[in-house]
Structure 1
Amino acid sequence: MKKIIKILGLALLLFLVYFGYTTYPKLDLISGFSSKSMASGHFIDNRSQEIIEKGDNDIEMITLAKNKIDENGKFATASVYGLKERKAIYREGLGATLINDDFDISKPYEVPKRTKLVNNLPFPYGNKEPKDTVFANVDYAKLNAAVAKAFDANGKKEKRTRSVLVIYKDKIIAEKYDTGFNKESKILGWSMTKSITATLFGILQKQGKIEVLKPAPIPEWANDERSKITINDLLHMNSGLEWEEDYTKICDATKMLFQAEDMSQEQLKKPAQFKPNSHWNYSSGTTNLLSGILRRQFKTHQEYLDFWYSALIDKIGMSSMLVETDMAGNYVGSSYGWATTRDWSKFGLLYLHKGNWNGDQLFDENWAKYVATPTDGSKGDYGAHFWLNAGGHYPNAPRDMYSANGFQGQKVFIIPSQDLVIVRMGLTEDAKFDFDGLLSGVLRSLKK
């Protein structure tokens, strides 16, 4: 009996050592992701805890979290086996913010001033429903079949598409939503928000307030080799700065998103590993550094908060959009933009029309070409905070196609040669979802 107890004790000890080595360090990130997702999904899109846990949070290890929503306090908490409890608070206008024990929730805060577009125009330039338009060169049977194929049937959870929207010549020609989602549902774009962040630099450049080819205005880099890094290098993800982005483990990106108070500082503090424009390396830290650079362009925090909406988001009627902030008040430009599928499509249309929105030129026409020009070292897959098809990643789609992409397969495809914008929101990446099939199916429905 004593021998059995010793064996069991040894087994327990080995388990605890293994758990401590492999899992315990991740608990902070697990509960952080879960509480943040819970607060955002519930208070931004009114999803229930059950729906969030079965959908947004059904990720390996995240399912270990035990969650709780406080309706009155407008916050969510999560812990793993009662350990590492994290809290995310919701504030109107700023969204949900994952906080630490030092965060003062009673401290006053500023919120962006919003302006809702009011006119009698139909979608996309107004708030009215789109006009029914039938194009003679569109095979609607093929189109609808291609869109329907993007969704799971018979209760399966393989493709996990939440919405698909196809816009041709400014008109919606196909729109479909999964059960529980509709045209009013706000969906997290994850890294599609990066493309929003980059666009603000195009707008500032058109206004003559910034020059992206000049060195990044960061005093902390003035006296070392990083002083040569330009905003252009940052926009193209080839600054040469050290950064690890691997969401399967604890890395720079996960520590930034789920532990940092000021996300704009994480990439800023990293040393140079390569010369600028010599090494492409995808980095969410770079985008949040760019958000911090944007903040420095304004005299007050309020001006920074307002600019994102007044210069772009509200300007094109993306009234559902909300970009969330970190504890320091920076927009998390790398990851935390929420909007309806239709509003995400408006962003694609802005680029399809090279920055012109119903007669108002938000950024110079050549900016659209700029963001869609391949970055050195990306093999034709990446431009300036947009993903490209120049290298033929999707073989059955035009090479001029480019897109805003996000984690779990959020995509806004812009296809200038076909006058098309295609949006797909969901929970699966390229490996599990046939994006090339969706694209080719839609394209085949357009008769030459």
Structure 2
Amino acid sequence: MRLPIVLFAALMLGGTTVVPPPSTDPLFAAGQGETRGVLMLIDGRVAQKRYAPGYSDANRFISWSMAKTITAMLVGELVADGRLQLDAPAPVAEWADDARRRITLRQLLHMASGLDHTEVGEPIENSDTNQILFVGGTQDMAARAIAKPLEAAPGQRFEYSSMTTLILSEIITRTLTDSREPRVRAAAYRRFAEERLLRPAGITTAFLEFDGAGTQIGGSILHMGLDDWGRIGTLLLDGRAADGTQVIAPGWLAFMKAPSPTNGHYGGQTWLNTAGADDALFPGKGPDTTVAALGHLGQYVIAARGTVPGTATPRSVVLVRLGKTQDDQLAAVRAALGDVLDPLVE
């Protein structure tokens, strides 16, 4: 049975009918796992919005690692305020007396801290991230992440790690408040996120989760409605909300979207479509400047700016896919997203 389309737009702009965008059917097909919601924005307008049965605007959807990109946006606000410095040693007091004191904020954002973090262990229960999120680290996740020793020189190699982003969340919290009271710490973080990011972007459904110490689980867990995930994608285009408000400073967004020294397909807590290797987001599809927030089990917020294919007409596209797809099917999800994106913008 064909899944219901909440909105499928053949937009009328200035009296001219725009050719409808490609169907999102491939994203709901067999082999895609469980796609729960898809949103497509073209030049800021909703072109398609579609839910699987049982899901609607009433739902908030878990971020998984898409939260990392939002954490980086918040770090950028503190850099803009002069309260954090990108190339200064990360302000982590526990590292002051050993070699970890050389780790910079930039290296943490680039996943190149050199800390001995294991995102996916063998067997899976040996993953540091799983242990901290779901087993024995829930009362103070950042403390467990901070305590890890170096296994490589800072800045030497890329190693994707949710624990690294937990440290960034803890740095944000310590910058905002000296309190060690969990409720005070969580309130300070939530208030800052609301005032500097969520409210200016028009986001109303965000629910942030915190550990027992009041640290936002900034590498893995927050929840938002489908439309608000689209608003995050809109910010990734040029840092502006739909009403034109500049939410993210252009220089900081440029940093987030620039290839890091140790991984040309990763910027500041953001994935890139840079050409030159098979591990680009969508090899051979979409503009090289396409970026995305990605999350476990197939969460995607994709932002692309370029031109209408075959023309010089500027176009921007935001494509959101939320759901639950196991690892062995994720390649098919990414391929389908690339197929939907490619005819829209180059």
CA distance 1:265–1:221, change in 2 (3 Å)? same
Structure 2 equivalent of residue 385 of structure 1: 269
1:406 counterpart letter in structure 2: G
Contact 2:298 2:330 in 1 (8 A): no
1:275-424 alignment, distance < 5 Å: 275-299=153-177, 300=179, 301=185, 302-355=187-240, 358-378=243-263, 380-391=264-275, 392-395=280-283, 396-417=285-306, 418-424=315-321
CA distance 1:356–1:315, change in 2 (3 Å)? closer
CA distance in 1, matches of 2:304, 2:162: 25
The answer for unaligned runs of 5 or more in structure 1 is: 1-128
1:361-399 Cα offsets, whole Å, 9 max, x none, are 223202121111112222x22111011111434121221
1:78-105 Cα offsets, whole Å, 9 max, x none, are xxxxxxxxxxxxxxxxxxxxxxxxxxxx
1:387 counterpart letter in structure 2: W
Structure 1 equivalent of residue 56 of structure 2: 182
1:132, distance to aligned residue in structure 2 (A): 8.4
CA distance 1:359–1:387, change in 2 (3 Å)? same
2:151 matched to 1:151? no
CA distance in 1, matches of 2:344, 2:175: 46
1:211-241 Cα offsets, whole Å, 9 max, x none, are 1221101111111111111111101100111
1:137-148 alignment, distance < 5 Å: 138-140=18-20, 143=22, 145=23, 147-148=24-25
1:174-194 Cα offsets, whole Å, 9 max, x none, are 111101011231110111011
CA-based RMSD of the aligned residues comes to 2.3
| Partner-residue secondary structure (3-state), 1:253 | helix
1:303, distance to aligned residue in structure 2 (A): 2.4
2:119 matched to 1:245? yes
1:425, distance to aligned residue in structure 2 (A): 0.4
1:236-276 Cα offsets, whole Å, 9 max, x none, are 10011111111623221111101211111122101111111
Among 332, 337, 345, the alignment partner of 1:438 is 337
| Partner-residue secondary structure (3-state), 2:86 | coil
Contact 2:202 2:241 in 1 (8 A): no
CA distance in 1, matches of 2:61, 2:92: 33
2:44 matched to 1:170? yes
| Partner-residue secondary structure (3-state), 1:381 | coil
1:93-124 Cα offsets, whole Å, 9 max, x none, are xxxxxxxxxxxxxxxxxxxxxxxxxxxxxxxx
| Partner-residue secondary structure (3-state), 1:199 | helix
1:165, distance to aligned residue in structure 2 (A): 0.6
Contact 1:159 1:432 in 2 (8 A): no
| Partner-residue secondary structure (3-state), 1:422 | strand
CA distance 1:198–1:137, change in 2 (3 Å)? farther
| Partner-residue secondary structure (3-state), 2:12 | coil
Structure 2 equivalent of residue 255 of structure 1: 131
1:139, distance to aligned residue in structure 2 (A): 2.8
Considering Cα pairs closer than 8 Å and 6+ residues apart, tell me whether 1 or 2 has the greater RCO.
2
1:295-332 Cα offsets, whole Å, 9 max, x none, are 11123523233112221122212111101111111111
CA distance 1:436–1:137, change in 2 (3 Å)? farther
% identical equivalent positions:
30
Structure 2 equivalent of residue 427 of structure 1: 324
| Partner-residue secondary structure (3-state), 1:433 | helix
CA distance 1:206–1:363, change in 2 (3 Å)? farther
CA distance in 2, matches of 1:134, 1:438: 25
1:18-167 alignment, distance < 5 Å: 133-134=11-12, 138-140=18-20, 143=22, 145=23, 147-152=24-29, 158-167=32-41
Give the paired residue count: 312
CA distance in 2, matches of 1:272, 1:158: 39
| Partner-residue secondary structure (3-state), 2:64 | coil
TM-score of the aligned structures, taking structure 2 as reference length: 0.84
1:201 counterpart letter in structure 2: V
Contact 2:111 2:161 in 1 (8 A): yes
Q: Which is higher, the Rg of structure 1 or of structure 2?
A: 1
Contact 2:112 2:157 in 1 (8 A): yes
The answer for unaligned runs of 5 or more in structure 2 is: 1-6, 180-184, 307-314
